[in-house]
Structure 1
Amino acid sequence: MEFLSVVVAAAAAFALGAGYYSALAKPWTEAAGVECNKDGKPKGGQSPAIFALAFVLQLIVVGMMRHVFTLSGVETLGAGLVGGAGIGLFFISPWIALNNMYGMRPMKLTLIDGGYATLACAVSGLVLSLF
């Protein structure tokens, strides 16, 4: 059941990312400096391999969240939500900020990507606590 919870939580985070980045596509591509075609889509398109790897990476993050939650006794919906949000906001987002700061990337990019990390981890934590 633990593996299923990780897969479902990663799928929820992945689906959230599709909606989140679709809604913020224009500001994200501008902040990230991604060149786009006239139709507004990234030049060269996006390979399905990128999405497959993104899902695998989310499985890794959510798998570790599951492990930490088990060791910490996180079992309720509220604890899963707060624990997940905390991981996104206080572990992942600062690391994104650090990388973007040294890469001299705009703060806007950090806020967009850190916002997604926080929301995705919160949703993942919520889903994990359902199992």
Structure 2
Amino acid sequence: MDILEVNWLAIVLAALCGFLVGGIWYGPVMGKKWLGAVGLSEDEVNSGNMALIYGGAFILSLVSSAMLAHLFFRLGQPPFHVKMMMSTGIALTFIIPAIGTNYLFSRKSKTLFFIDAGYWLLFYIAMGLVHAWLS
């Protein structure tokens, strides 16, 4: 694949949408429950290096978005519904089982698992929507 053949606008916008989903999910929707599930206070969370945390998270979102773009490109730009099935399926069959396995061994709570699993499902749905519309 030639690096110029992918839709870079779709990659960046999809990453931004996934990032926005995280801001909403871990903010007003699940923020307080998430804080309780991870055992942190708002002050503890806010004391972190926010530029590093948010910058790193966005770069990782770009990596995920670029991989989706690459996958869709290699498959000949499948139709909208196939892109949605694939992006949702990646979350349901790769991402969520992987974090579930980690949470089982690290003995993290079911509450935290469902909060994080819900986020990753919405993250990949949002990115899939952007890629499906723009590519």
Q: When the two structures are superposed, what TM-score results if normalisation uses the length of structure 2?
A: 0.85
Residues 83-98 of structure 1 aligned to structure 2 (within 5 Å): 83-98=86-101
* More deviation, 25-34/6-15: 25-34
Q: Where in structure 1 are there 5+ consecutive unaligned residues? A: none
State the structure with bigger RCO (CA 8 A, min sep 6), 1 or 2: 2
Q: Equivalents in 2 of 1:127, 1:36: separation in Å? A: 32
- Structure 2 residue identity aligned to 1:129: A
Matched, 1:100 2:106: no
Per-residue deviation, 1:74: 4.5
Q: CA RMSD in A?
A: 1.8
Matched, 1:25 2:28: no
**Percentage of identical aligned residues:** 30
Q: Equivalents in 2 of 1:36, 1:118: separation in Å? A: 25
Matched, 1:122 2:125: yes
With over 3 angstroms needed to count, the CA separation of the structure-2 counterparts of 1:30 and 1:46, relative to structure 1, is: farther
Per-residue deviation, 1:75: 2.9
Per-residue deviation, 1:35: 3.3
Who is 1:8 aligned against?
13
| Greater than 3 Å deviation, 4+ residue runs | none
Matched, 1:78 2:84: no
Q: When the two structures are superposed, what TM-score results if normalisation uses the length of structure 1?
A: 0.87
Q: Where in structure 2 are there 5+ consecutive unaligned residues? A: 1-5
Deviations 1:6-56 (A, max 9, x none): 11100111111111111101111111122344xxx7362551221011000
- Structure 2 residue identity aligned to 1:78: H
